[in-house]
Structure 1
């Protein structure tokens, strides 16, 4: 749990009483590899911090799922649109490896926002950071070729190259696994 506090402290100083209140609202959960953390059609009830493991965000399809996001150790995860709107998720989040998560449910987070001095600030800044990541991803599809998207991942997010199976990475950049193999061969 100290790693969560370190992340929060990078954003804003967290008074001891705020931290103590937050800690009473957090629960530890574990998921095995390939387990669904949330399924399409369910309402997201948690914001999670990933202590260990990694996750894949995807839209389930009959043949090939569409992967559109990943989260790894020391990052926050959620089907955030479902969490905020209280509507069913349009996608699934799956553990790509065994995961240890620290979770705060929707109602508890509202209490943290209401009763702590820094809860709102930390929540807003984390949401803003994730929004910028989402915009950058969307813009990459409008402004870059698949090869440029792969090179961007290679240079800026090498953990994806190391941890993510080729078929998920190909889907993430919008190509088939065969096309990604050709891209990798061309640039090596």
Structure 2
């Protein structure tokens, strides 16, 4: 699993042997069972997660109903962008929807490695910028697209999710009830 982490960082920029070694030795990897709650809404947490294997769902409760706002799969970061300092309570639940293998991180451990290898800080900044851009695109989609278009975008961009998550979570993610998602699917199947 440590090789997967190095491979991910190497896709962003080539790493020196020392940087590779530092990433491998500092990586804290943990296994989580399906159903494990990583963070509860209202909990204070400074941790970020990198998904090596598995599926994490982000949701919050609105009037007692779960509203799914994100799914994180292999080679994605689970980061609370509104709380990088970890000084605010989480606005979300992060739950493992599959057995998962995650790399854990926090600002304290990151600062130690950045002090030793300053170039890794610019790589980390690029990762946060990319994660923020993905979130921003998702928000824009919710504000401008119809539920049917959001579903089609999901089919195009992340077809694996359709097979990995239950229909009620998929419906919540695109902003409709499960019955409406069924109607969308039926309508799309009738189109040539």
TM-score (norm 2): 0.91
Whole-Å Cα distance in 2 between the matches of residues 92 and 186 of structure 1?
33
Does residue 140 of structure 2 align to residue 139 of structure 1?
yes
Whole-Å Cα distance in 1 between the matches of residues 124 and 113 of structure 2?
10
Alignment RMSD, CA only? 1.6
Alpha-carbon offset, residue 62 of structure 1: 5.4
Match of 2:160 in 1: 159
Alpha-carbon offset, residue 19 of structure 1: 2.4
Whole-Å Cα distance in 2 between the matches of residues 78 and 165 of structure 1?
23
Does residue 55 of structure 2 align to residue 51 of structure 1?
no
Whole-Å Cα distance in 1 between the matches of residues 26 and 6 of structure 2?
14
Whole-Å Cα distance in 1 between the matches of residues 105 and 135 of structure 2?
22
Aligned length: 188
Stretches (4+) displaced over 4 A: none
Comparing 140-149 with 40-49, which one deviates more in the overlay?
40-49
SS at match of 1:69: strand
Alpha-carbon offset, residue 110 of structure 1: 1.5
Match of 1:179 in 2: 180
Gaps of 5+ in 1: none
Comparing 39-48 with 150-159, which one deviates more in the overlay?
39-48
Contact 2:6 2:23 in 1 (8 A): no
Whole-Å Cα distance in 1 between the matches of residues 100 and 48 of structure 2?
14
Comparing 157-166 with 70-79, which one deviates more in the overlay?
70-79
Contact 1:43 1:82 in 2 (8 A): no
Contact 1:51 1:101 in 2 (8 A): yes
Gaps of 5+ in 2: none
Whole-Å Cα distance in 1 between the matches of residues 52 and 66 of structure 2?
26
Contact 1:59 1:92 in 2 (8 A): yes
Whole-Å Cα distance in 2 between the matches of residues 64 and 159 of structure 1?
25
Whole-Å Cα distance in 2 between the matches of residues 46 and 16 of structure 1?
27
TM-score (norm 1): 0.92
Contact 1:18 1:117 in 2 (8 A): no
